[in-house]
A = this chain, B = another copy of it.
């Protein structure tokens, strides 16, 4: 039983409630954190008690979202009377620390933009065409009659800017720019968010990236490229695998390359493979051969072999995919 709500109905429901606990997903990104804190600040502005709860700490680049909160209006999870999940497609994504909210009926309202949403909440505002949950929150907060101040604007901006890769990815919408244009009129310091999220690198991150780029390797007459990140590189640089997230696109975005892959060594051995392809090649078909899958342009799989063998196996599959002799699986 899941009621689909409109923006207006959602705003009305929130206006009628108090003591509201907002859940963000584990390994939080800018969109779930931005959505959570924007809604929390809007509820505080209305004099309501509200708090944001997440299984993991806010990443250090995003801690600004929590600065200058009205502490008197914060609440503990035990004091909550109404539970709202933001940007959480499935209860499993809350993380085991929040298992109590994974029970049926535990979440009163979910506000989300993932088409894969499992409809676990009693009430649901699902807008699968929106580039970011923060775009939905912009509508909900406006419909609640809250005026968007600089603090709310910076939270919403964080979500929209991160989910669209700072307006570079193909999911960016005319509406993303339109909302951001209005948010910027509040005069908040959006550049320091861009700096932290898109420009600033840690020394460890740069060192890992430098080491990984040394492994860049072409095959199939330059039509495929691979980059490897090993556990040894992680320990030498002091970085984590999360620090090379940006590198997955690097190989694919080289001129003439139709298949780009990163091979990330797992602590327990073997490699997590991410494959990105151009329009002419099916990434999911390549990964299906190794028991993996995903989308047609971006897929993943696991190869439990040493690096050199993994590279050789991938090269064979890439050559077959480029020659069109690989069996095609659909999403």
Contacts and interface: CB of A to CB of B under 8 A. Distances in A.
Nearest to A214: B210
A48 to B, nearest CB: 30
B254 A202 contact: yes
A322 interface: no
A197 to B, nearest CB: 9
Interface residues of A, number: 41
B253 A203 contact: no
Interface in A190-233: 190-191, 194-195, 198-203, 206, 209-210, 213-214, 216, 218, 222
A177 B199 CA distance: 20
Contacts of A168: 166, 194, 198-199
A329 interface: no
Interface in A26-54: none
Nearest to A190: B172
A182 B191 CA distance: 23
A218 to B, nearest CB: 7
Contacts of A255: 200-203
Nearest to A178: B181
Contact of A174 (B167, B169, B184, B253): B184
A222 B207 CA distance: 13
Interface string A218-254: 1000100000000000000000000000000110011
Contacts of A210: 210, 213-214, 216
B185 A174 contact: yes
A180 interface: yes
A167 B166 contact: yes
A17 interface: no
A166 B169 CA distance: 10
A85 B178 CA distance: 31
A164 to B, nearest CB: 9
A9 interface: no
11 contacts: A166-B166, A168-B199, A169-B191, A170-B194, A174-B184, A176-B181, A177-B178, A201-B250, A201-B254, A203-B256, A210-B213
Top-10 shortest CB links A-B: A174-B184, A177-B181, A178-B181, A177-B177, A170-B191, A210-B213, A199-B253, A202-B255, A167-B167, A177-B180
